[in-house]
Amino acid sequence: MVDVVGAVLGWLVSEAGRAGLSILGKSTRTILAQTCEAAFREAATELVPEAEATWLADALAEVAQTRQLTIDTAVEDLGFRAAIDNWVTTLAEPNPVTDDASILERLDLDGERVSDVLCAALDRQLAAAYLTYAGSKPELVNLIDVVWRRNDAARLTEQNRTLEALRHEVAELASAPVDGFTIDMPLVRDTEPLALGVHRAITSDFEEPPSPRPLYVMRSADHRLRRLISGVDSRRMCLLVGESSTGKTRGAWEAIRDRVPEWTLVRPDSARDLNRLTEANAVPPESVVWLDEAQDFLSGPDAAESAQSLLRLLNEGPQPLLLIATIWPTYLPDPHADDRGSRLVRQLLNDHCEQIDWPDSFASVVVESDEVSDLIARDPRLRTAFATAGESAKVTQVLSGGTQAVRQYRDGDSDAANMVRAAVLMRKLGHHGPLPMSLLRAGFAALVDAADTDERADAALASACRPIHGVAALTEVVEDGQFRYRVHDYVYQQLPPNGVFFSVPAGLWDALMAHTDDVDTRASIASAAKVRHLLEIAYQLARPAAERGHRQATSIVAEILLGQDLQKTARQVLRSSAAAGNQDAMWKLANLLQSINETASRHWLARAARAGHKRAMLAYSTMLASEGHTEHAMWFQRKVAESDPHHAFVLGNQLLGDTSLGLRVPGMVSYAPTDDENVTEGIDWIRVAAEAGHKLARRDLGDVLRWAGRNEEASEWERREAPRIAHDIADWYTRTGRPEEAEQLLARASRAGVTFYQWDLGPLIESLGDDPDGEDILTELADKGSVDAAEALANRLSRQGRDTEAEQVLRAAAEDSVHGLEALGTWLRHQGRGGEVEADLRRQMHHSPHAASALIDLLHADDRAADLEAAVLTQAELWPRATWTMKSRLEEWGLEHLVEVALRRSAATGDPEAAMTLSDWLAKDGRPEESDGWLRQAAEKDHWPSPREYGVRLIHTGDAPAGERWLRRAVLSGDDRALRLLADVVPDPSTLATWGLRPDGTTATPWRPTTETESTDATA
């Protein structure tokens, strides 16, 4: 229906400046499209009986698509009613889709009445949009105002409101809270932690606790967070990174309650709310913006919009302002991802954020201290947690109830354990919301592989929801009047399957298809099925979502249909989604049509470009440039550069005449610097890229400004950017023999608050010897938590005979981190006092593989062979995956005999990674049979990539059928590389590629979509 926007309101586009709807924000374009769609369907419902309304709406949309350019040209200079009259005349012509009677003839409609109804429907919907978005979308309100200023203001709504009355109402709304922001903004001191995401704590069966929530035990990360909050006088973002149930959210809440209790707390519920808060400037000064589970904002399709909103708050928001966020490490942005969302999130986190690694244990807490022992004595929940955690010191996990639930369900085979496993599997496959009871029943039946299981399932569900010390693995919630169930975060994270590669029982796919209605969820699960080459299941899951315009689902459906050579059906799916505003569908449709040499390809490429699709804009720009439409091509280049810093940088260089970068961005148009105007614009684009954080642009802007003779601007930029570009320049200073200048530059950067460079200063200053200013700089950095700086300071103090001070510095660092403890152990060993830290290292080795490695180093230095061997074997049991990194050191020390012993000890723990490592060792040592046994053990646990590697090994050793079965299993676990290998060994790879696999691993027989259109397409 989005085509109706262009067809019916094409003249409005020219009123907006002949730049098209792309001058508007993405969300505004979506609102306008939805407004016109609603008006169009409303008109269709009024014109014909309900049974024919859908057909009419679809037919009119098809006409609008085929007449788009003609109508735009025809109505450009007409008024509102005249434009609609002009368009309606086309409805009297033969239908261009079916080539039969016109729409008006088929439905016996009068053209004048169609115009009246459509005009009135558009008036009503535009008026509603005018009022609804008065305070949040000024460009939309102004655009609609243009429509009515040009036309008869008497036809505004069925209530006969006048344009002036609407404007008056808009003025009142604009001064009121923005629609959708009736959220509470309480003071921090009035908030409750459970409402902010803190896990419910365990209860005590024997003793009344002293407070509703467990008493709080501080760790070193708490002190650092509070120091950062105390120093907020402008704008600051703190990101707490840690695994589930490690106390991140509770720590953040305790910190703001302690430091800024009178500030306002603002908690957006979604990326959309965050964006609207920012656009409306609704965040007051002295606010804490609360982003618990920041992955909900900074990953997925909303990542770019959320990152932009947060960057705007940090650059232009009120002061003082504090942003507090928590995130699991697995959700940090991929450093290699090149999509716009990932780039913006990396810019946000790298350049504007203080990141705090939240510890997963209380290993650094001295339990015997008066303060901690008093808290434990007063709170029975803390006593239970510390006692249960034992040497692991994972106290918060016990407090959250996660540890007990994981122990109960990890290896059990009870019905309750199978119910919890079903919930975990379905969440890992993409069902992230609460699970309906019907889905849990069906999932449970799939795992136990039995019929008539409803009673067993209900009993299992009741058991899984039964609290263990007040906390349950599954929690009942009510949504839309229905009972649903949410799996505990820690249980989800810790229970197998671990990672993204795992097999799925066949019946679980059936359960998900039958009991999942939400389109986002269906699309997410369809993606998981497609990765496993379960094409029919992916299609069945995605199709309902695709029919409702879901972008990801549309792509899945179209790709599967094209794989079956159903081009007509794929075209229809893409066209329908494209008509609903799906930019990706427009782009894919343009490419599909181009591949079959259809002229409509250009139309859809232009549509995608105007809608803001980056690749389409670049491709269309190239096309326009090749046709001599240089200025038009440049308009699209500039639009891409506005949202893509790298493209802005390349475009700037192109305008300055440097074409060496042209191939980096497809579709780049080259220009020579023939006049000052191009030079000015080129510099402006490099500045845009630099301001957005583009490293090369930040580096080059000063030189470019000097080249253009703008020396004052160059000096100002270099002064401003010195802290940020300091690392690159300092590295160059050091490599060219100027370490003193490097030290001064990095010191200025650190004092300016750019904490990233603090980690480079310690070794650098240490290399300078006894530089006069070095001690002050190192002391400052050590106080901020840099262990490298603390180690460099201790070495400096030791050289000056100040061993007592050096030891104090390192002991302070050891309290905060295992890295600090390693540094202290190394220093004490050099002082001949290694034994003093040995007890601490032995205690810490249960919590950190680094501490275990430090202990092994200490024992080797003291030549204590028996203790060393015992420590190596203990590390192998505690940290199976650290054994491989220890291997090279053992070989260096001449202790090869220990390597295999340690590897076997690690593999014996059942860790599949350790089993794979031992398998590799045995294979290199010429023991293939034993190697195969350990590799199979890892493969049976679906540990990537062992099923694939085991299958390949079997094929190479002559057991092709068994190897093929393992490759099929690898594909079903999500290993796409295994699919390529499988295609090389199956007799008919085209059948495998076209129809996919069944959940049992066999190649699917040909299946066809069952709708009438698709059946016709298949026959043709």
Q: Cis check for the bond before 320: say yes or no (omega within 30 of 0).
A: yes
Which one has a higher pLDDT value, 856 or 699? 856
Domain ranges for the chain, please list them. 3-167, 188-400, 401-517
pLDDT band at residue 323 using 50, 70 and 90 as cut-offs: very high
Q: How many whole angstroms separate alpha carbon 854 and alpha carbon 822?
A: 6
Q: How buried is residue 288: exposed, middle or buried, by Cβ count under 10 Å (0-12/13-18/19+)?
A: buried
Which one has a higher pLDDT value, 97 or 55? 55
- Interstrand relation of 235-241 and 321-327 (parallel, antiparallel or unpaired): parallel
**Position of tokens 């010897």?**
769
pLDDT band at residue 943 using 50, 70 and 90 as cut-offs: confident
- Asked if pLDDT for residue 113 goes beyond 90, the answer is no
Segment among 333-342, 738-747, 760-769 with least mean pLDDT: 760-769
402 within 8 A of 245, measured Cβ to Cβ: yes
- pLDDT the model gives residue 1016: 41
Calculate mean pLDDT across residues 907-934: 89
- Asked if pLDDT for residue 258 goes beyond 50, the answer is yes
For CA atoms 616, 619, 622, 628, the dihedral sign is negative
Which residues in 286-391 belong to E strands, given as ranges? Answer: 287-291, 321-327, 354-357
pLDDT band at residue 516 using 50, 70 and 90 as cut-offs: very high
488 within 8 A of 468, measured Cβ to Cβ: no
Q: For the segment 187-200, what is each residue's pLDDT rounded down to a tens digit? A: 898 888 888 888 87
Torsional class of 693: left (φ above 0), alpha (ψ -120 to 50), beta (otherwise): left
Q: How many whole angstroms separate alpha carbon 759 and alpha carbon 336?
A: 23
Q: How many whole angstroms separate alpha carbon 506 and alpha carbon 512?
A: 11
Indicate the CATH number for domain 188-400: 3.40.50.300
| Strand ranges of the sheet holding 235-241, from the earlier edge strand across to the other edge | 264-266, 287-291, 321-327, 235-241, 354-357
**Position of tokens 């009942």?**
476
Q: How many whole angstroms separate alpha carbon 711 and alpha carbon 403?
A: 62
Which one has a higher pLDDT value, 175 or 435? 435
* Alpha helices, DSSP H, located in 322-414: 340-351, 370-378, 380-389, 395-399, 402-409
Q: For the segment 383-394, what is each residue's pLDDT rounded down to a tens digit? A: 888 887 777 788
Tokens representing 694 are: 């583009």
Which one has a higher pLDDT value, 305 or 425? 425
- pLDDT the model gives residue 123: 73
Specify the pTM: 0.65
Calculate mean pLDDT across residues 1-8: 36
- Asked if pLDDT for residue 840 goes beyond 80, the answer is no
Calculate mean pLDDT across residues 986-994: 89
Instruction: Compute how many other C-beta atoms are within 10 angstroms of the C-beta atom of residue 875.
Output: 23
User: pLDDT > 70: what percent of the chain?
Assistant: 74
Segment among 180-189, 400-409, 753-762, 844-853 with least mean pLDDT: 753-762
Calculate mean pLDDT across residues 975-983: 90
Q: Which of 6-20, 88-102, 833-847 has the highest mean pLDDT?
A: 833-847
In sequence order, the 6+-apart residues with CB closer than 8 A to the CB of 43 are 114, 117, 118, 120, 121
Main-chain phi, psi angles of 468, to 5 degrees: -105, 110
pLDDT band at residue 147 using 50, 70 and 90 as cut-offs: low
Instruction: Compute how many other C-beta atoms are within 10 angstroms of the C-beta atom of residue 804.
Output: 8
- pLDDT the model gives residue 896: 81
- pLDDT the model gives residue 344: 82
Instruction: Compute how many other C-beta atoms are within 10 angstroms of the C-beta atom of residue 484.
Output: 18
**3-state DSSP assignment of residue 911:** coil
Q: For the segment 773-810, what is each residue's pLDDT rounded down to a tens digit? A: 667 767 776 776 677 778 888 888 888 888 888 888 88
- Asked if pLDDT for residue 741 goes beyond 90, the answer is no
Q: Count how many Cα atoms sit within 13 Å of the Cα of residue 933 in the half-sphere of its side chain.
A: 7
- pLDDT the model gives residue 168: 58
Calculate mean pLDDT across residues 64-89: 49
User: pLDDT > 90: what percent of the chain?
Assistant: 13
Main-chain phi, psi angles of 266, to 5 degrees: -115, 120
Roughly how many angstroms between the first and final C-alpha of the chain, as a whole number? 28
Q: If you compute the radius of gyration of the chain from its CA atoms, what whole number of angstroms results? A: 33
- Asked if pLDDT for residue 753 goes beyond 70, the answer is no
DSSP, res 465: T
Q: Cis check for the bond before 945: say yes or no (omega within 30 of 0).
A: yes
Contacts 24+ apart (CB under 8 A), 912-919: 912/937, 912/938, 912/941, 912/943, 912/946, 913/880, 913/881, 913/938, 913/943, 914/880, 914/881, 914/883, 915/943, 915/946, 916/943, 916/946, 916/949, 917/881, 917/883, 917/884
Q: How many whole angstroms separate alpha carbon 860 and alpha carbon 869?
A: 10
Q: How many whole angstroms separate alpha carbon 369 and alpha carbon 470?
A: 29
Q: How many whole angstroms separate alpha carbon 969 and alpha carbon 963?
A: 10
Which one has a higher pLDDT value, 172 or 636? 636
Calculate mean pLDDT across residues 580-600: 82
- pLDDT the model gives residue 81: 60
pLDDT band at residue 932 using 50, 70 and 90 as cut-offs: very high
Q: What is the residue-averaged pLDDT of the chain?
A: 77
- Asked if pLDDT for residue 991 goes beyond 70, the answer is yes
Q: How many whole angstroms separate alpha carbon 334 and alpha carbon 313?
A: 24
Helix (H) or strand (E) holding 229: helix 220-230
pLDDT band at residue 51 using 50, 70 and 90 as cut-offs: low
Q: How many whole angstroms separate alpha carbon 882 and alpha carbon 173?
A: 62
pLDDT band at residue 184 using 50, 70 and 90 as cut-offs: low
- CA-wise closest residue to 130 among 119, 146, 150: 146
Helix (H) or strand (E) holding 540: helix 535-547
Calculate mean pLDDT across residues 421-427: 92
491 within 8 A of 405, measured Cβ to Cβ: yes
- CA-wise closest residue to 965 among 991, 1004, 1000, 930: 1000
Q: For the segment 667-721, what is each residue's pLDDT rounded down to a tens digit? A: 344 444 445 777 888 899 988 888 776 777 877 888 888 888 888 888 778 766 6
Which one has a higher pLDDT value, 108 or 931? 931
**3-state DSSP assignment of residue 237:** strand
- pLDDT the model gives residue 87: 65
Calculate mean pLDDT across residues 521-531: 90
Q: How buried is residue 256: exposed, middle or buried, by Cβ count under 10 Å (0-12/13-18/19+)?
A: buried
Q: Which of 6-20, 124-138, 323-337, 823-837 has the highest mean pLDDT?
A: 323-337
- CA-wise closest residue to 252 among 262, 277, 243, 241: 241
Q: How many whole angstroms separate alpha carbon 341 and alpha carbon 333?
A: 9
Which one has a higher pLDDT value, 661 or 27? 27
Main-chain phi, psi angles of 326, to 5 degrees: -125, 150
Tokens representing 599 are: 């002229």
Which one has a higher pLDDT value, 781 or 904? 904
Q: How many whole angstroms separate alpha carbon 996 and alpha carbon 45?
A: 42
- pLDDT the model gives residue 7: 35
421 within 8 A of 515, measured Cβ to Cβ: no
Question: What size, in residues, is the chain?
Answer: 1020
Angle 138-143-148 from CA coordinates, rounded to 5°: 125
Question: Residue 287: beta bridge partners?
Answer: 264, 321
- Asked if pLDDT for residue 662 goes beyond 80, the answer is no
Which one has a higher pLDDT value, 280 or 602? 602
Which one has a higher pLDDT value, 897 or 150? 897
Question: Residue 354: beta bridge partners?
Answer: 238
- pLDDT the model gives residue 794: 86
Q: How many whole angstroms separate alpha carbon 403 and alpha carbon 399?
A: 8
Q: How many whole angstroms separate alpha carbon 557 and alpha carbon 547?
A: 10
